[in-house]
Structure 1
Amino acid sequence: MSTTQSERLRELLEPLVTSQGLDLEEIAVDSVGRKRVLRVVVDSETGADLDAIADVSRALSAKLDESDAMGEGEYTLEVGTPGAERLLTQPRHYVRATGRLVKFQLAEGGELVARIVAVDDEGLDLEVPGVKGRRPTARRVALADVARARVQVEFNRKDSTDGTDSTGSTDSRTEKDMKEEEEA
């Protein structure tokens, strides 16, 4: 039987979150002054939209109200998603991050920034970006060799296969820039 409040909350809330088609990623109870805050982080294979977050938040609130898991004192329930720069801790996190740029801390020491191309039970197929005009290189890393991994936020990402950005454009100029050039 669980002994910590977080473990008891996980046992109580995880089946409810799962029934909503989501994964329970994290539970944390923090004290903020005299108030307590229960933070619940959820996600799914396709991501959790605002409607799903609202639905699970209402369900969790009702479940917590009918139990004594949070005790008698007041608390605030916050339900959200892992965020853009999420820490990857489970194999399913790596699958969800396929195509994303990730910063890896390797167990043997050292750091690697690469894009996840594919994930299987043993490890990750990565594409290490080329530097100074060089082509990207492929690399295989075993999951056991990863000490820590965090998704990186990318602005103006270029597609590695055809040089286009996320809009399909190879031109970084704005419409305004192009119009001004036409008028000149």
Structure 2
Amino acid sequence: MSSASQDALRDRIEAELADPLRALELDVEAVEITPAGKRRVLRVAVDKDGGVTLDDVAEATREVDRVLEASDVMGEHPYTLEVTSRGVDRPLSLPRHWRRNVDRLVRVVLADESVVVGRVRSFDEDASGAVTLEVEGERREVPYSRIAKALVQIEFNRPTEES
């Protein structure tokens, strides 16, 4: 399957799933299709405010399966369905990602290739806005348009409000 047709299929699957999953208060974060022998593996990553539970993943799996069975989007080829949570290794690219990570430590690579590590303090819901990071005790506003890549940093001893 060509890259263009792969992208079109991924977009079509995402469009088919968006509303049914939104009804479960879930967002489709990623759709990936990879060949696996004679089958394909369809991975659908979901997220929501407050995080995704195992029950959410189970409910999303049932809904994705129902939607795909009712449509012809996957064609006649067999596939294996995997529904997962978004995971911390996915880049923050939308305002909702920043909202869901307020108070988390992030590493931001800017368009000029400089790097900023700071804690998310606030964000604009508008994609043309900015995120406010606390960097070494100082607040710094970073426009989304200047962000090349941003990832949540794993903290084993994350500070609490009292510390």
Query: What is the root-mean-square deviation of aligned Cα atoms in Å?
Result: 1.7
The corresponding residue for 2:148 is: 147
1:112 aligned to 2:116?
yes
Unaligned runs of 5+ in 1: 130-135, 164-184
Please identify which structure carries the higher strand content.
2
Question: Which structure 2 residues correspond to residues 36-75 of structure 1 after superposition, within 5 A?
Answer: 36-75=40-79
Contact 1:35/1:75 (8 A) holds in 2: yes
Query: Secondary structure in 1 aligned to 2:151?
Result: strand
1:97 to 96, 101, 106: 101
Q: Which residue identity does 2:76 align to in structure 1?
A: E
Question: Which structure 2 residues correspond to residues 1-184 of structure 1 after superposition, within 5 A?
Answer: 4-120=8-124, 121=126, 122-129=129-136, 136-159=137-160, 162-163=162-163
Q: Which residue identity does 2:108 align to in structure 1?
A: F
Deviation at 1:60, TM superposition (A): 1.1
In structure 1, distance between residues paired with 2:39 and 2:76: 12
In structure 2, distance between residues paired with 1:11 and 1:162: 43
Q: Which residue identity does 2:135 align to in structure 1?
A: V
Q: How many residues align?
A: 155
Query: Secondary structure in 1 aligned to 2:10?
Result: helix
Contact 1:124/1:142 (8 A) holds in 2: yes
Query: Secondary structure in 2 aligned to 1:16?
Result: helix
Q: Give structure 1 regions of 4+ aligned residues with deviation exceeding 4 angstroms.
A: none
In structure 1, distance between residues paired with 2:10 and 2:67: 15
Query: Secondary structure in 2 aligned to 1:39?
Result: strand
Deviation at 1:109, TM superposition (A): 2.1
Q: Which residue identity does 1:36 align to in structure 2?
A: R
Deviations 1:50-77 (A, max 9, x none): 1111111111112211222111121111
Length-normalised TM-score, structure 2: 0.87
Aligned-pair identity in percent equals 38
